[in-house]
Chain A
Amino acid sequence: MDVIELDRVTKQFGKAVVAVDNLSLSVPKGSVYGFIGPNGSGKTTTLRMIMNILYPDTGVIRVFGAPQVGACMDRIGYMPEERGLYKRMKVRELLRFYGELKGGRRVNQAVDEWLRKLDLSDWGHKKLETLSKGMSQKVQFIATVVTRPDIVILDEPFSGLDPVNAEVLKDAVLELQDQGTTVIFSTHDMNVAERMCDFIFMIHRGKKVLDGTLNAIQDQYGCDTIRIRTEQGASALQNLEGVDKVNDYGQVQELHMAPACDAQAVLATIMSRTAVRRFDLVRPSLHDIFVRIAGPEAREVNHDA
């Protein structure tokens, strides 16, 4: 069952900016759905439309099968990209307020539980203005989930978090999923999307360019990437026949092969130049796919077209 359906949704700001263009999307119940896309591509606008904060110009959005999200607003938790908290309120007081505003009753127990889970118990009586950015972000997350909504929408939940806190938040998200919550989040961290999401959706210039499981997306591109480590590094990988592009990551390089390129021939050429320490023929990473779609070269191609 799909808990969220977008059917040919378009949203335009002014006459010039089409933020979301004829977008259709279905989010299955209990899944973790990752929204990726460059800045300004329409992710936040899409999330705001799902939340009924913005209204689409055309198209229909159904949440829990109903066309109006207003009635079921309390069943959706929403954490915007920009964190907004009353800085002069105390943590526990604020969470109780947000919980009760969301229709929650007797939220005190849930507040205490979440504070403990996210290691914030000692900060419950402190004012928000005394908390660090990471702590504030965790408080914002608790405010989003404290009433145990059926859908949780998180706009950039991991941005600005240190690895420890990111890990804590990741565990919390996965725990929600285990309990049957549908989680949608946007992110610029491709590793997080690859590791956490059941489905990945990419929007670029308002249009859907990717939608599906990671495997399905990668299958579209096939094994066209060589991940290699050599004695001489990137300097030995110049002007290889059949290689479109070399991405140098320092210790490792990635080669994008042109269609019909023979990987064995490429390997033989490289071995004639330097010693090869590692050679993998892999499918492109999500990061790689993202860059191919939204990177400067893609923009040039699109511009030329």
Chain B
Amino acid sequence: MMRKSLKLACREYKATVKSKGFIIGLILAPIFMGGSLIAFALLKDRVDTRDKNVVIVDRSGVIAPVLLTAAQTRNAEELHDTKGKKIKPAYVFTITAPEAEDPGAQRFELSERVRQGAIHAFVEIGEHVVHPGENPDTSRITYHAKNAAMDEVRSWMGWPINNELRRLRVTEAGIDESKVRDLFHWANVEGMGLVSRDVQTGRIRSAKRSSEIEALIIPIITMMLMFMMVMMNVPGMLHSVMEEKTQRIAEVLLGSIKPFDFMMGKLFSGVAVALTISAVYLSGIVFVVHRMAYEQYIPFHVLPWFLVFMFLAVVMMGAGAMALGATCNEAKDAQSLTLPTIMPAMICMFVYIPVAKEPLSSFATVMSLIPPFTPFLMVLRQTTPEAIPPWQPVVGLIGVVAFTLLVVWFAGRIFRVAILMQGMPPKLSNIVRWALRG
């Protein structure tokens, strides 16, 4: 009867990959998934180039002139590209004498000007900014704008202000700054991998620099790829079964093929589609990364694991999706059952950051050995620079295989009963009864 399953799978596969929806989805899925990154890359230079007028209320009397000078230098050097096109806004600072008697009224008046758009922001520098005393209010530097937290002027001015404060303090201490430059040198703690020995030559190999790309980005991309494979296939399987049930195609097919073979045929097709998509994406990624000379970051040793776990994830969740799809009587049912179907993938998305940061923690280990999560989290852990114990992927794989077989078996029982059941809502009690009794 495998022949019939394959025949059905073949038809489904051809119908899927030939459709315009598939081609469009193939292109759009990574765009949606990485949409924010792409948008950021495309729009990063599209900044507001209008001048930023900022009023300085300098109660210390020593910082404002420095800011003016720094801003003039910046405006002269950074505003235009090589073709003379303005690419950044000019920072135009104006100094205002501080109101001694009623500073609150002055702040309100300046705030009103910001609200009206007359100025972009105002900055107030505390009287004792050079020598902060016990009262922090008199040494604060406050920046007031409509969206101060994200304001680039505020970020920019930190550097010239602190440079000047340092210079003033060193000078007051009677020290020649040029002689104590090392005092201000910031030492980085570099992240490095472990030193290893070449098995053939016996020579010690230097440790590789550990980067964020290796530590987080590669695992996350791998995990997202797995997530994408599931999201592009599993909900589709649910809806496809529901459609074939409601359009009565299922009953016609059941005159030729047993329900379990019918389900397996659709499952094979889903897996074949997932493998096709992953082949396209993986080839694309390898090609792009190779062109960018970053191939050292591709974890080729994890690729076979990725493919095996992806296969199992699609079979496991696809079987569940088809069983649930068979219980649906209308599109509304299918919509409400989509979330439970993809729940394992969603849960993995919620926990992937702590797992990627601490892949050897108890939490990461336990989560990655729970079969519904194993395909996602084990691959995620395997792609981090940390060496996870070799037994864990093997145990995880055995667990997923056993769990997948169990899911397929139960799904087959539900599918057989539910696919012809009309008018009975997909209630949990019914689904459990069908799973247990067949």
Interface residues of A (CB under 8 A from B): 48, 51, 53-54, 70, 73-74, 76-80, 82-89, 97-98, 100-102, 140, 143-144, 153
Contacts and interface: CB of A to CB of B under 8 A. Distances in A.
A82 B255 contact: no
B420 A76 contact: no
A153 B252 CA distance: 12
Top-8 shortest CB links A-B:
A78-B255, A84-B248, A82-B248, A84-B249, A84-B252, A80-B251, A101-B256, A53-B254
B7 A76 contact: no
A220 B50 CA distance: 101
A101 B253 contact: yes
Contact of A82 (B4, B251, B256, B257): B251
Interface of B: 4, 7-8, 11, 15, 244, 247-259, 420
A142 to B, nearest CB: 12
A86 B249 CA distance: 7
B359 to A, nearest CB: 46
A1 to B, nearest CB: 23
A101 B8 CA distance: 8
A48 B420 contact: yes
Nearest to A71: B1
B160 to A, nearest CB: 66
B23 to A, nearest CB: 15
Given A53-B255, A101-B7, 10 more contacts: A70-B258, A73-B258, A80-B251, A82-B248, A84-B248, A87-B247, A97-B7, A98-B252, A101-B257, A143-B252
20 contacts: A51-B255, A53-B254, A54-B420, A73-B255, A74-B256, A77-B255, A78-B256, A79-B252, A80-B248, A80-B251, A80-B252, A84-B244, A84-B248, A85-B249, A100-B7, A101-B7, A101-B253, A101-B256, A102-B256, A143-B252
Contacts of A80: 248, 251-252, 255
A101 B253 CA distance: 9
Contacts of A74: 256
Given A86-B15, A101-B7, A101-B8, A73 B256 contact: yes
A140 B252 contact: yes
A84 B247 contact: yes
Nearest to A83: B248
B10 to A, nearest CB: 9
A294 to B, nearest CB: 23
Given A97-B11, A100-B7, A101-B4, A85 B255 contact: no
Contacts of B256: 73-74, 78, 98, 101-102
A92 to B, nearest CB: 14
Contacts of B257: 73, 101
A199 B250 CA distance: 30
Contacts of A102: 256
Given A70-B258, A101-B4, A84 B420 contact: no
A166 to B, nearest CB: 21
A19 to B, nearest CB: 12
Given A53-B420, A70-B258, A73-B256, A84 B8 contact: no
Contacts of A98: 252, 256
A53 B251 contact: yes
Contacts of A70: 258
B7 A85 contact: no
A51 B255 CA distance: 6
Most interface-central of B248, B252, B420 (chain A CB within 10 A):
B252
A76 B255 contact: yes
Contacts of B258: 70, 73
Nearest to B244: A84
A49 to B, nearest CB: 11
Contacts of B7: 97, 100-101
Contacts of B251: 53, 80, 82, 84
A140 B256 CA distance: 13
Contacts of A97: 7, 11
A16 to B, nearest CB: 13
Nearest to A97: B11
A73 B317 CA distance: 30
Contacts of A89: 15
